[in-house]
A and B are shown apart, each in its own frame.
Chain A
Amino acid sequence: MARSVTPRRKLLNTTIAWAIGLLIFFPILWTILTSFKSEAQAIASPPIFLGFDWTLENYRVVMERSDYARFLWNSIIIAGLSTVLGCIIAIPAAWSMAFVPSRRTKDILLWMLSTKMLPAVGVLYPIYLIFIELGLLDSRAGLVVVLMLINLPIIVWMLYTYFKEIPGEILEAARMDGATLRQELIYVLTPMAIPGIASTLLLNFILAWNEAFWTLNLTAVNAAPLTAFIASYSSPEGLFFAKLSAASTMAIAPILILGWFSQKQLVRGLTFGAVK
């Protein structure tokens, strides 16, 4: 819909857009800036925007005090494994739905989506009990399974919409060329769907990374990821703004960078293909 406008109009639009963009981004920017301040400067009145003494002290303290590496490692393991595992289970399922549709395919897809809508709190205690029974409480394995399950519908859906765009004739060609089903999936479908699979992995990694219900309620010490690490700053350490900022920056930086790459796929993934 981009149409040509007068330069004055464009300048006005640009100014407003940048002002709004910066306003929305400001809390993040402020957090990043504060993480480089000393505690005194972080709460100085009036606030100091840029003219402070830049320091990495906060990062050093946070890393030393809270074993940041362990939380980070937990986040990576839990988000990464749950996403990869989800994809391994979802690829064959999405293949079936996209290329061998039956009358029930649509119902199954919608039903999968509906499991995503179960309010987590409604099943909190049963899951809690099951975790205690199976000794999964505060274990990474348990969280990997739970996060894999809550994101599985989105993974299936995203892959399904990507696979739908691959012409079925190419898979039939592979079949004519003597490929078995396994070979068809490994040598033909997967390489062709790499961009789609990559964005599915990326978005679901982000969703799993930021998940803050199960990760807070099912972990204590051993398996706690970054969401719990930050929640532990709730009080009284939260009053040390500079350290809180450093911890926050470390928790969100990796995902902000990944997120910027995935913004195009975000829409498709989060609307289940209803908006493209």
Chain B
Amino acid sequence: MATKASRSAARLMMAPAVILLLGWMLVPLIMTLWFSFRVYLPLRGGDQGWAGFDNYTRFVSSSAFWPSIQTTLVIVLGVLAITVIFGTLIALLLDQPIWGQGIVRILVIAPFFVMPTVSALVWKNMFMDPINGLFSHISRFFGAEPVNWLSGRGIDWTINLYFTSFDLEVTMGVFSIIMIVSWQWLPFAALILLTAVQSLDSEQLEAAEMDGAPVHKRFWYIILPHLGRAITIVILIQTIFLLSIFAEIFVTTGGAFDTRTLSYLIFQRVLESQNIGLGSAGGVYAIILANIIAIFLMRIVGKNLD
């Protein structure tokens, strides 16, 4: 609903944003694609010609690849499970009439505003340090041996799926990172789910109450379906961010103790071992992975636009 003049003005005014983002997307993307097919070692002779798909196969067949995928999955799924479950519980709790709700809300949200390097360092040193950390004090108070949070051995699980079974080792390093990252993202999940809970029409719940539905049934049949969309959004957005967590690993373990995720592995290939070709091939994998998740998120956001 507009005139030709306003439509052409609109195109003109959209141009800077579109052109900038197009450049920001295409230029590095094309360069990454290019490098991924090259033997490119800046410190050892620079660009040494075509590599074909070598980088791609080498990246996948390196001994670090599958562990990094496993670490990525464990961290992402672990954080998602913790934040969504506790986020829902906190949202339901904060939705109840309580005294000082505003203040509690602020307390709960606060970690989201802490910069990642700060939260990683504070947790690593002041809480998880095996000698002076608060957790070690607590362990000693109960007469227990302090836990080696970041460098400990961890737990072995044997996962039995009906067609196969495998051993999953979650080191304390991975576990610690899950804890730190969950602490950072729990407020995000809780806040969004709280907003969603509050948008639930109370008449619906009252009707269910009149119909004699007990609390757990009201939760299961009314509240949870209502939250479904918000939970999906939380999961998708968090997944995008969690796939690329960086500072938390960089500051705490530097990728040691099996905490090397896919993106951290790529980071190491590119900046630490300066194997650009190999790192770029990894980058292309990461981009593809992120895009698969992004497509689902777009669908949901897109539906909301109509």
Contact = CB atoms under 8 A, between A and B. Distances in A.
Interface of A: 1-5, 10, 13-14, 16-18, 20-22, 24-25, 27-28, 30-31, 34, 43, 45-47, 89-90, 92-93, 95-97, 99-100, 102, 106, 108-110, 112-115, 117-130, 149, 152-153, 156, 168, 181, 206, 209-210, 212-213, 216-217, 226-228, 230-231, 233-234, 238-239, 241, 244-245, 248, 251-252, 255-256, 258-260, 263, 266-267, 270-276
Given A28-B114, A92-B16, A110 B298 contact: yes
Contacts of A217: 271
B98 A17 contact: yes
Contacts of B94: 17
A218 to B, nearest CB: 11
B115 A275 contact: no
A123 B283 contact: yes
Given A93-B16, A216-B247, A241-B126, 5 more contacts: A168-B1, A210-B113, A248-B121, A275-B229, A276-B195
**A-side binding surface: helix, strand, loop or mixed?**
helix
A51 to B, nearest CB: 16
Given A43-B132, A112-B17, A210-B115, A256 B301 contact: no
Given A96-B14, A115-B21, A122 B121 contact: no
B141 A275 contact: no
B57 interface: no
A93 B22 CA distance: 14
Contact of A270 (B108, B119, B192, B247): B192
Contacts of A45: 132, 137, 140
Contact of A117 (B103, B129, B205, B240): B240
7 contacts: A24-B183, A96-B11, A110-B305, A118-B29, A226-B115, A263-B106, A275-B233
Contact of A126 (B16, B28, B233, B247): B28
A130 B305 CA distance: 36
B20 interface: yes
Interface string B110-124: 111111111101111
A34 B122 CA distance: 11
Interface in B9-37: 9-11, 13-14, 16-18, 20-21, 24-25, 27-29, 31-32, 35
Nearest to B134: A47
Contacts of B188: 270
Interface stretch (B147-155, B158-166, B196-204): B196-204
Contact of B301 (A20, A239, A274): A274
Interface stretch (B59-67, B169-177, B285-293): B285-293
Contacts of A149: 20-21, 24
A46 B137 contact: yes
Contact of B113 (A47, A89, A212, A252): A252
B110 A110 contact: no
B266 to A, nearest CB: 5
A123 B121 contact: no
Nearest to A212: B247
Nearest to B274: A125
Contact of A115 (B9, B24, B98, B271): B24
Contacts of B35: 125-126
B122 A267 contact: no
Contacts of B240: 117
- Looking at B11, B229, B237, the one whose CB has the most chain A CB atoms below 10 A away is B237
Contacts of B107: 21-22, 24-25
A123 B114 CA distance: 26
B17 A156 contact: yes
B115 A274 contact: no
A186 to B, nearest CB: 13
Given A110-B301, A263-B106, A125 B270 contact: yes
B303 to A, nearest CB: 9
Nearest to A231: B117
Given A152-B17, A274-B233, A125 B32 contact: yes
Given A122-B266, A263-B109, A213 B16 contact: no
Contacts of A34: 126
A263 B191 contact: yes
A244 B121 contact: yes
Given A121-B283, A212-B115, A274-B300, A126 B27 contact: yes
B206 to A, nearest CB: 8
Contacts of B200: 1
Given A17-B93, A245-B126, A256 B24 contact: no
B280 interface: yes
B97 A20 contact: no
Contacts of B284: 122
A25 B107 CA distance: 5
Contacts of A156: 17
B243 interface: yes
B112 A93 contact: no
